[in-house]
Amino acid sequence: MRAIIFDLDGTLIDSLPDIAAAVNHVFYHRGLPALSLAQVKPMIGDGAKVLLSRACAAVGAPVEESDYAVFETYYTAHSADLTRPYPGIVAALQELQAAGHSLGVCTNKPQAPALAVLEALGLASYFGAVTGGNSTPYRKPDPRHLAATLDALGSKDAVMIGDHHNDIAVAAGLGIPAIFAAWGYGEADCPIIAHQASEIPGLVAAMVD
């Protein structure tokens, strides 16, 4: 059976409120104006360092050396305050697992907060491997990031599911199919689209057949 690899933010979980809160925590301590959810949403998908660079650029401020550590410490402690799995995600994971698929997560979010939020939301047990943005020297869209997830699962045959062009690109880099999660934060050109999480098992089954 194919391994099914998920992106995290915007795919498995709606983490925007807690991510924005962490950004604004950094900004509060620096005396910078807070950003809205709508402002932060398009900044997500390339990891915390890029997120903070984009956020600081939006208010015309440089990134400071301490910003990343302040962000990660706060976010790891508060990663599940307002974050929830998207509707239908848990049922889709259960259905995929029951069908015999191994499941993994490949995210540009740093490893510690990624694991923390999965544990807090009761999702960690579904996944045999979780590779964060600092788990390897590579990050999506570099296909070596996804390859590390597959190696951890002991699989070469897989499907990548995500809401960001990085997810579609990383799958293309390994020559594996992808499913675009249309409910998330990003945009991508992908021929296979899931409009809600409940569609994922059927789309995967059609590929296997």
Question: Cα–chain-centroid distance for residue 85?
Answer: 12
| Interatomic CA distance for residues 74 and 93, integer angstroms | 29
- Which CATH code is given to the segment(s) 3-14+83-208? 3.40.50.1000
What fold does the segment set 16-78 form as a domain? DNA polymerase; domain 1 (1.10.150)
Alpha carbon dihedral 162, 163, 169, 171, in 10-degree steps, equals 10
DSSP string for residues in 150-181:
HHHHT-S-EEEEESSHHHHHHHHHHT--EEEE
Q: Each residue of 96-127: pLDDT tens digit? A: 999 999 999 999 998 988 999 999 999 999 99
Question: Contact, 49 vs 66, CB < 8 A?
Answer: no
For position 208, what pLDDT does the model report? 59
CB atoms near residue 154 (< 10 Å): 10
Q: Each residue of 37-59: pLDDT tens digit? A: 999 999 999 988 999 999 999 99
What's the mean per-residue pLDDT of the chain? Answer: 96
Q: Is 9 a catalytic residue?
A: no
Q: Each residue of 125-181: pLDDT tens digit? A: 999 999 999 999 999 999 999 999 999 999 999 999 999 999 999 999 999 999 999
Query: What is the model's pTM?
Result: 0.93
- Domain boundaries of the chain, sorted by first residue: 3-14+83-208, 16-78
Q: Which two tokens stand for residue 133?
A: 């943005």
